[in-house]
Amino acid sequence: MTAPIVLETDRHLKWPAFDRLEYALMILCGICLTGFTLSTLIDVVTRESGHPLLFLQEVTSTFFTYGVFVGASVATRRNDHLFLSALTEKMTGATRRFFEVFNRSVVLLVGLFMVWFGWQNVITGLGSFRMPSMLPMSYLYLGIPMCGALVALFSLEQIVNGLRNGFTPIIGDGPARDVSAGAAGDIGL
């Protein structure tokens, strides 16, 4: 059994129209990790063979950085982020509804701050350049507002759908994220 690329958990909080976006972002995560792996590997091989390619380090860090910000944005829709606790999930009724909306509003606001102030960084970055490509730093800083925009979008999606359908998971609402149902399952010990 392999894990699905678009997660079915919390379907009641999702617009089906955004599934394609989640899919595309997940594929982008894979591309970033593949690019990061290949560029690091080629970097090692060329350096050990005495023909180092300087630009590879820039390529590596670009894939790495974008992988982090793309992954963080799609993880918001999948509810895959690291959590300290979810006291809100133990609440019921109007209190729960209030705090579910409040939590996501905090994430939404943080996302909007990332867009606004991250964009200012992008503008500032036009004046400094990365070696050896001499491209402006802006192209690297762009990951922050892009991530912020997606985080805000997915938070809004969850707030609207949560207010419409409720925040409590609906029974039979997609398979749970259960690692114990993985490939190994039973090793026959």
Residues 158-177 that bind other proteins (CB under 8 A): none
Task: State yes or no: residue 185 binds other proteins (CB under 8 A).
Answer: yes
Cα–Cα distance measured from residue 31 to residue 166, given in angstroms and rounded to the nearest whole number: 35
Here the tokens at position 144 are: 């922050």
Minimum distance, C-beta of residue 80 to other proteins, in the bound complex (Å): 7
Nearest to other proteins of 45, 170 (CB atom): 45
For residues 76 and 107, is the Cβ–Cβ distance under 8 A? Answer: yes
Nearest to other proteins of 120, 170 (CB atom): 120
Minimum distance, C-beta of residue 15 to other proteins, in the bound complex (Å): 20
> Would you put residue 174 in left (φ > 0), alpha (ψ -120 to 50) or beta?
left
Among 141, 152, 154, 157, indicate the residue that binds other proteins (CB under 8 A): 141
Residues 79-138 that bind other proteins (CB under 8 A): 80-89, 99-100, 102-103, 106-107, 109-110, 113-114, 117-118, 120-121, 124
SS3 assignment, position 85: coil
Other CB atoms within 10 Å distance of the CB of residue 71: 17
Nearest to other proteins of 30, 132 (CB atom): 30
Other CB atoms within 10 Å distance of the CB of residue 41: 12
For residues 9 and 174, is the Cβ–Cβ distance under 8 A? Answer: yes
Size of the site for other proteins (CB under 8 A): 74
Cα–Cα distance measured from residue 111 to residue 155, given in angstroms and rounded to the nearest whole number: 9
For residues 161 and 12, is the Cβ–Cβ distance under 8 A? Answer: yes
Minimum distance, C-beta of residue 14 to other proteins, in the bound complex (Å): 16
Nearest to other proteins of 100, 157 (CB atom): 100
Residues 22-51 that bind other proteins (CB under 8 A): 26-34, 36-37, 40-41, 43-44
